[in-house]
Structure 1
Amino acid sequence: MRLVFLTPVIVVTLIGSAAAAEDTIQWGTVAGWNIASDKTLGGSCFMATFFENGIVLRLGFQQRGAQFPAYFALASNDWKSIEVGKEYQLRIQLDNKDPWDAPAVGLNLNGLPALMVSFGEAKFIGEFVRQHAFKATFNGSLIANLSLKGSAVAARELATCQKTIDGILDNGTPSTKRDPFSVNDPAPEKRDPFAL
């Protein structure tokens, strides 16, 4: 399965519909993977790509404090029967490693029917992107057989995106000083000489 070059229309589908574009901040594109921040997940970052068979693969971090900090989602316009909130049992295989069962939850990913699998450890992302191929089956039928080409390089940029967002969240509290660059600026309550 080959990655296809992304057109602006496909990029909008990957990172959000035109109506939801305000909920997504584009970070960049690396090795055919789109990197972005999702405001609906507390600014957490994700990487996503679109395959020629119409499948979107998205891999990212949940918002801070989530029980399961990492996830991947598979989406396709052809999967219209997916029900939002319903659980589906997928069988996942990376390269030729032993497959494992993964509960997935149906959701609407910016207008596309999708399945999301959450993971208890964010280090799963590193394991995921070190592989070459991803397969998913449902009820014994192969639903995705995807190349992970470029995902390791994209994951490094994903980590940079998330580290930047975390830094903003940790240190982004607005200053209460009138001049945040001045050491001697009076506190806000001192600005009003008429305050008693």
Structure 2
Amino acid sequence: MHRLSLVVLGLLLTAGAASAEEGRSNIWKRINAWTVGSDRSLGGSCYAATSYDAGAILRIGFYPRGSTNLAFLSIGNAEWKSIEPQREYDVALQLDRGRQWPAVAFGVDLTGARALVVNFSNTDFFTEFVRKNTLALAFEGRVVASLSLRDSMKAVSEMFKCQEAVSALIPNGGQGAANDPFAGAGGNAPNNDPFAGGGQTKSSKDPFAM
């Protein structure tokens, strides 16, 4: 995996739960529990986000055009306080009972929660993501989050439409600030904190990179 650039990481540090997105986003559409919008801190790039009763936060979105990676997936939880920003964590993602996607995630400090961010550089994960019902995140051999993907196909479809609109309205593809592009148009860790004591720097091979 290509390492998350410090510039983009700094932007992601301000990202919050779906309910906190609105102060820094232009909302494109709401689809049941999902919010789709354009993120001003990422140059207007679009995302889809949702939150869960157990406190988990799921966000998938694009990076600005010209970034090293195409898109990212972040999973966070208010209980995961021991995640260290910018630290690497070897994780695995699994959609339903399909193959696992091993990846190196990076810790970020969201508003009210810590999260892990996984980058990917092609659309393969998108294709699988919208077809499945659940997403599991495994760390050190055990599943630490199992999240429903209900309505994810509709949400990601709207995210692509949102990005097309942003790209049409912002000629440089989201580089630089965007106001409103739509105007006028660990094994010993406690059960509730699986990352306590974990996260040693390890190898960073990226199965998502082309």
TM-score w.r.t. length of structure 2: 0.70
How many angstroms apart in 1 are the aligned matches of 2:114 and 2:125? 24
Identity level (%): 36
Gap change, CA 1:73 and 1:109, over 3 Å in 2? same
How many angstroms apart in 1 are the aligned matches of 2:112 and 2:55? 13
* Cα displacement (A) at 1:150: 0.4
- 8 Å CA contact 2:35, 2:50 repeated in 1: yes
Task: Tell me which residue corresponds to 1:70.
Answer: 71
Task: Tell me which residue corresponds to 1:181.
Answer: none
The alignment status of 1:88 with 2:89, answered yes or no, reads yes
How many angstroms apart in 2 are the aligned matches of 1:95 and 1:128? 10
* Cα displacement (A) at 1:171: 8.1
User: Match for 2:133: what amino acid?
Assistant: H
- 8 Å CA contact 1:107, 1:115 repeated in 2: yes
User: Match for 1:89: what amino acid?
Assistant: D
The alignment status of 1:167 with 2:168, answered yes or no, reads yes
Task: Tell me which residue corresponds to 1:108.
Answer: 109
How many angstroms apart in 1 are the aligned matches of 2:101 and 2:36? 27
- 8 Å CA contact 1:79, 1:114 repeated in 2: yes
* Cα displacement (A) at 1:122: 3.7
User: Match for 1:42: what amino acid?
Assistant: G
* Cα displacement (A) at 1:149: 0.7
How many angstroms apart in 2 are the aligned matches of 1:141 and 1:58? 21
- 8 Å CA contact 2:86, 2:107 repeated in 1: yes
Task: Tell me which residue corresponds to 2:18.
Answer: 14
User: Match for 1:41: what amino acid?
Assistant: L
- 8 Å CA contact 1:94, 1:135 repeated in 2: yes
Deviations 1:47-92 (A, max 9, x none): 0111121101101111111111111000111000011100111111
Q: Which runs of 4+ in 1 moved over 2 A?
A: 15-18
How many angstroms apart in 2 are the aligned matches of 1:25 and 1:141? 37
